[in-house]
Chains A and B, each alone.
Chain A
Amino acid sequence: MARAHVTTTINGDVVDFLCEADQTLLSALRDELRMTGTKEGCGTGDCGACSVTIDGRLVCSCLVLAVEVEGKAIDTIEGMADGENLHPLQKKFLEHAALQCGICTPGILIAARSLLERNPDPSETEIRYWLAGNLCRCTGYHKIVEAVLDAAREMRS
């Protein structure tokens, strides 16, 4: 079967890649482009570890076919820091130790950034429900919520 040619923008760069027609965006990112920051946790859209944004919309990349992103703009964890300068969310996650094993962390950071773009001043409850699609087994969520609140404060000021 001929491989599909996809042209897309990833973290601001125009990227061309070849993929299978049945290949998920998650697999294309990881296996074709070797961008392994986006993680697989379930492959069924339950855990959110593979969260990316497509044209600003938060999605599970395990539920999107790679061929669907033709002409679209994708943002992944690899584009979150500006060189060595961490995004405020990354900084606050570091300060609060809002991660342990770190496998869910890229997805949670992408989801949290997506929240703060829509709602720069979320309540704790809003944060918890926004992140309901991102499972974490290590942290009990407490420090994640604290870090997002703290980052939101800093980004507002």
Chain B
Amino acid sequence: MAGDLLGKPIPRIEDRPLLTGRGRFVDDIHLPGMVHAAIVRSPLAHARLRGLHRGRAAAVEGVVAILAAADLEPHLATTTLSVGLPSKAYRLVVDRPVLATDEVRYVGEPVAIIIARSRYIAEDAAALVDLDLEPLPAVSDARLALRPEAPRAHSGAATNVVAEFTMAYGDLDGAFASAAHIVRTSLLQHRGVSHPIECRGAVGHYDAVQDCLVLWSSTQAPHSHARMLVKLLGCDENRVRVVSPDVGGGFGPKLVFYQEDILVALAARIVGAPVKWIEDRREHFMATTQERDQHWDMEIAADATGRILGVRGHMIHDHGAYTARGINLAQNSAQIVPGVYRVPAYELRVTLALTNRVPVSPVRGAGHPQGAFAMERLLDRVAQELGLDRAEVRRRNLIPPEALPYRLPIKTRGGTEMIYDSGDYPACQAAALAAIDYDGFRARQATARAEGRYLGVGIANYMKGTGRGPFESVTIRVGPSGRVSIYSGATAIGQGTKTMLAQICADAIGVDVARITVVTGDTGTIALGHGAASSRQAVNAGTSVHLAALAVRHKLLQAAAIHLEADATDLEIIGGTIRVKGVPAMAVGIGELADALAGLPGYGIPGGLEPGVEASRHALFEALTFAYGTTAAEVEVDIETGAVAIRRYVVAHDSGMMINPMMVDGQILGGAAHGIGNALYEWMGYDAAAQPVTTTSAEYLVPGAPEIPRIEMVHIEIPTPHNPLGVKGVGESGTIPAAAAVVSAVEDALAPFCVRIGETPIRPTRILELIAASRR
């Protein structure tokens, strides 16, 4: 029945193959004659590349080819990856070369590609390529990069400032001049790597039969990959096909088009055999984009009651050695600082510094966790300054529901307005506080203190613009088989995207989910697409599916009415059959209708209908829809070891109407775990020479099952008016407030030591240092 499936926790259609070892990830692809690639990477953060000697590597039995920049140039229309999102803020254009030519600028930068009979041989040979490198001074720390005497990350560049901008509105001077309280804080916010359990990987295959270069890539964005390949190779669109097979997690950096994507594709054409490259975990830490460091100096002006008058500051953002995505990460951080609060005046100056580290790009949350952390730390400081409860300070500043829609005088990166569309922020905070028994906490804390244990509670609110457009493409087609196919530029990377789309489609048409096949992430099946990012697919692809499915339903009913000689309004769709209500014998299968509408040579289409049963939609979204929520965490800090145990963890959130609550739970839970990792464990370290020092999962510290607590959720469903399903994005919601809430809780636990924490991650050794410092 149509209209009875949305909001139901139906099982995921993706799961059965994944549970039985029959998933089809990129590394599971074996093609006849396939050879394997390894990448020769720079071991230095900054050096002049004087030469490359392949003799020892070429002598290894089983090596097929060694390709450096000069070998590729004749095959390329352009040799740089020009991918930066447009902005007027750039001061330097620093695109990555396909392979380094005369200078290397981060450890891990590709210099050559080795093709060999096996991965073992390729990796052994890669180690035997002798690079003639003349070390140059490297810049590792973003703050040091901005000093006039700092070495340049790119030799000969006038500056290390790759971009700068200011986000501002309101009467800031007036706000600070009239403030009863001004509080300052400095923050070092670190976020690390994405660390999907599947690293990146690609298989390139030149299909001579179809004269088409096929790239299977573990990517979140196959369509933009295909656009890049066309640009790099200077070929027709129909000569390139990019497919995302099963993707073992993305979390942001798999959105980026990497050197390896073109290298693998091109190598397949040059050596005349399919080429597979699988990133190893060590490479993931060196060569896949990350988020890393932001340095914030902030001040907030408040009146005598704790109401915010203004916020201002400066943020330095580590951009890495090249532009791999744009300045969007820093933009996101800057534009989300006011968040769910009334901030009458705001100014953030942002400086993006080039460093000799791997480029940055968004990781789950995409700069929003840092913006939230900055604001929430400021509000904690206001509470401390005024002697107010932290929740109360927040309550006084939350935008009330009657003020929605609320226009923030800031523009998005595309120039559209930021308008908070729907929600009830105070109710959400209240729900989180109630769930964690905030009112009872001080008694729990006092009891624990009497036993020598240190408990703390922290809360944080967040705001996230979700559903970033412009659109996601969808075609729905019913075939003579009676099966329904959905094709979309949406990309499935583990979130349950296929289930989500099938569920919306089944609900709108009235067919069973089991009758639907979803094909995502294949540029050979649909022309346009944007893929998985920005908590966007439920809004964009979901709406397109909904609209296309309604059109398909209409078409089926029209065709059935002709076939059954009945009025369309008297018909119902049950499973795969359309029948006259109350007359089960008068029925026709949807496959039969599709067959009739496919036509026969020389015969007319019944009723003169348009041929075929299909519809395509690209629902357009200019405005973001704003998801928000509150996280509350209760922690216990062991002051002898510095260990933090999370006792309770609550996420209250409004992601609009839930299509599948079980999958929404999954997004929140996984997102929260990622944020807890950022708060307490994960650190991507570099030394002063910009050498990465955490290149295994164990050194980096991805949290495991013992570290992550049970997470309690409160779902608030206030529909957005921006789409017919009323849905907001949820993919990043769990992550964004996590560090702010956990750090606040740790600080609260350590209140007897007057410890102030303005950094992430806050690891045990650092907690012990802070306690020791407070005792001195």
Interface residues of A (CB under 8 A from B): 20, 22-23, 27, 30-31, 34-44, 46-47, 49, 76-78, 80-81, 86, 90, 93-97, 99-106, 109, 125, 127-129, 131-145
Known: A41-B281, A86-B20. A103 touches B120 (CB 8 A): no
Interface residue SS majority, chain A: loop
Q: List 13 A-B contacts (CB under 8 A).
A: A20-B118, A31-B30, A38-B21, A41-B197, A43-B280, A77-B20, A80-B20, A101-B493, A109-B19, A137-B197, A138-B670, A140-B671, A141-B705
Query: Which residues in B have their C-beta under 8 angstroms from that of A40?
Result: 27, 278
Check B303 for interface membership: any CB of A closer than 8 A: no
B705 and A102 within 8 A (CB): no
Instruction: Name the residue on A nearest B672 (C-beta).
Output: A140
From A30, A41, A129, name the one whose CB has the most chain B CB atoms within 10 angstroms: A41
User: Which residues in chain B, 222-247, are within 8 Å of chain A measured between CB atoms?
Assistant: 246-247
B281 and A36 within 8 A (CB): no
Docked Cα-Cα span, A82 to B244, in Å, equals 30
Check B177 for interface membership: any CB of A closer than 8 A: no
Query: Which residues in A have their C-beta under 8 angstroms from that of B665?
Result: 97, 143
B11 and A103 within 8 A (CB): no
From B18, B246, B493, B669, name the one whose CB has the most chain A CB atoms within 10 angstroms: B18
Top 7 closest A-B pairs, CB basis? A37-B21, A101-B494, A102-B18, A103-B248, A140-B673, A140-B669, A77-B21
Check B198 for interface membership: any CB of A closer than 8 A: yes
What number of residue pairs across chains A and B have CB atoms under 8 A from each other? 187
Min distance, Cβ A153 to any Cβ of chain B, angstroms? 18
Check B702 for interface membership: any CB of A closer than 8 A: yes
A99 and B20 within 8 A (CB): no
Min distance, Cβ A8 to any Cβ of chain B, angstroms? 18
Interface residues of B (CB under 8 A from A): 9, 11-12, 14-16, 18-23, 25, 27-28, 30, 118-120, 194-199, 246-249, 251, 278, 280-282, 493-496, 662-663, 665-666, 669-674, 696-698, 702, 704-706, 708, 710-711, 734
Q: A86-B16, A101-B247, A129-B706 are in contact. List 15 more A-B contacts (CB 8 A).
A: A23-B120, A34-B30, A39-B198, A42-B697, A46-B697, A93-B15, A101-B198, A132-B704, A134-B705, A135-B704, A136-B705, A138-B670, A140-B670, A140-B671, A143-B665
B669 and A103 within 8 A (CB): no
A140 and B697 within 8 A (CB): no
Question: Which single member of B18, B251, B666, B702 contacts A135 (CB below 8 Å)?
Answer: B702
Docked Cα-Cα span, A53 to B21, in Å, equals 15
Query: Which residues in B have their C-beta under 8 angstroms from that of A125?
Result: 706
Question: Which single member of A31, A97, A101 contacts B246 (CB below 8 Å)?
Answer: A101
Query: Which residues in B have their C-beta under 8 angstroms from that of A103?
Result: 23, 25, 196-198, 246, 248-249, 494
B280 and A99 within 8 A (CB): no
A138 and B697 within 8 A (CB): no
A81 and B20 within 8 A (CB): yes
